[in-house]
Amino acid sequence: MSLPRPLNEPGPVLTYLSKLSAVNSDLAEATIGAVRAIMQTPDGAILLDLLEKSTTLSVLPILSDDRALLARNAQALIPSDLRRITSDEHEQLLLAKAGAKRR
């Protein structure tokens, strides 16, 4: 029996889009559409690869300030957020949360 994979908490991009959706849903939907369109191109794939590698493969000095580690962790969530938007996972999570709130 396989265990369910825990979902990452939303990163800065998804958090912003959730707040934007509450204020201006048309702009949020247009932004999501634009991200999807860009990420499905070869240039978008290169950009996503660059973001992932630049945040996951870079090393912080051992004596770095705690804020540097927090910033790096937030930066590392940006490619994850973009992948979730592109794969429609974000909408599925919002629908699941909306369904849970109605009950």
Q: What percent of the chain has pLDDT over 70?
A: 81
pLDDT at residue number 75: 86
Mean pLDDT of all residues in 32-51: 93
The residue-averaged pLDDT of 5-16 equals 77
Nearest to 15 by CA among 72, 66, 78, 95: 78
As a whole number, mean pLDDT of residues 6-17 equals 80
**Confidence grade of residue 98 (pLDDT, cut at 50, 70, 90):** low
* H helix and E strand count, the chain: 5, 0
State which H helix or E strand residue 80 sits in.
helix 66-86
Neighbours of 35 (CB within 10 A): 18
Neighbour-count burial of 93, counting CB atoms closer than 10 A to its CB (0-12 exposed, 13-18 middle, 19+ buried)? middle
Q: What is the pLDDT of residue 5?
A: 57
Half-sphere exposure of 3 (CA within 13 A, CB side): 3
Does 91 score more than 60 pLDDT? yes
Whose tokens are 């396989």? That residue is: 2
Residues 102 and 100: their CA atoms lie apart, in Å, by 6
**pLDDT tens-digit profile of 59-83?**
888 888 889 888 888 888 889 889 9
